Structure 1
Amino acid sequence: MLYDGEHHYDVILDEQALYTKIGGTKVMREQIERLLRDIDLPSLSLGVLAATAEVSVIPMPGFSVYDDARVHYELVSTGVDVTGPDELAFHDKAFNALSSVACYGDAAKDLITKAMVFWSND
């Protein structure tokens, strides 16, 4: 769906996710290569929340917003959907707060490239 031209994704990735080893070194390198390949897609706005960013919202746990009608949390044992208008507005505000301090464009690429160097030397 990222490549179909019909959808748009706004994503904020915590910088720590670039260093949390899931699946081994090879998998991490491949995932980071994909981020670097896809970051300029017109269907994607990818921000990286730098480890040193000053945040007003704690970015845990991650959540997904679907068409401004539903927020979804994927938990260890289940998924949770939030649909109340006040809660949706709260999540929108939280996303905007994180987005305002995330790195985009070349600054995001620099953080991702730094992680690639780390995994290339592992």
Structure 2
Amino acid sequence: MERQRVLREGIHRFNYLIGEQALHTTVGDHSVMVEQIEHLTNLMMLPRVAFGIVPQAAGFIYTTTNFVIYDQRMVQVETITAELTITQPRELVFYEKSFSALAKQAVHGDAARALMRGALDKRLGIEAGADGSTAV
């Protein structure tokens, strides 16, 4: 919880993007995934957090690995075997362009919450009716 304090305090802003498939890929078990999706839903409510989901139906733009951009001064890239730290401005531009393009495809706010709710309902065995009602 100490690491997450930075999300609630200070002046930093955090912009997260995930692919919709991440909501449907089981890491751990269903109970772990339910907790993770609920946690992400709560994080979306924080004023310093912008959270987007790139829908499964979005067109292909880039092949990427996980990366984190730090204040346009550094990018950390996660690969299978190592973590890379990129600081060259000419290389940082590629990550910024990639993030911007993916962010344009992403849904935010209510639309992102709806995708999360759908994934959560699926994990909990709840089916949504055409009228928005739910049944187990």
Using structure 2 for the length normalisation, give the TM-score.
0.83
Residue 17 of structure 2: which of 12, 23, 27 is its match?
Answer: 12
Residue from 78, 97, 101 that aligns with 1:97: 101
What corresponds to 1:41 in structure 2?
46
CA contact (8 A) 1:70 1:82 kept: yes
The C-alpha deviation readout for 1:47-72, integer Å capped at 9, x for no partner, is 000000124223x2121001111111
The answer as to 2:78 corresponding to 1:80 is no
What amino acid sits opposite 2:58 in the alignment?
Answer: A
Counterpart of 2:119 in structure 1 is: 115
In the alignment, residue 95 of structure 1 is paired with which amino acid? Answer: F
Rounded to whole Å, the distance in 2 between the matches of 1:116 and 1:25 is: 10
Q: Which has the higher contact order (CA 8 A, sep 6+)?
A: 1
Q: Deviations over 1:67-114 (max 9, x none)?
A: 111111122222111111111111111110000110011111111111
- Aligned-residue Cα RMSD (Å) equals 1.4
1:36/1:112 contact within 8 Å kept: yes
For residue 17 of structure 1, report the CA deviation from its aligned partner. Answer: 0.6
Greater than 2 Å deviation, 4+ residue runs: 55-58
5+ unaligned residues in a row in structure 2: which ranges?
A: 1-5, 127-136
**What code does the residue aligned with 1:54 have?**
G
SS in 1 for 2:8: coil
Aligned counterparts of 1:86 and 1:75: Cα–Cα separation in 2: 20
**Hey, what's the Cα distance between the residues in 1 that align with 2:61 and 2:80?**
26
TM-score by length of 1: 0.92
Identity %: 34
CA distance in structure 1 between the aligned counterparts of 2:87 and 2:70, rounded to whole angstroms? 10
Q: Say whether the 8 Å CA contact 1:55–1:101 is kept in structure 2.
A: no
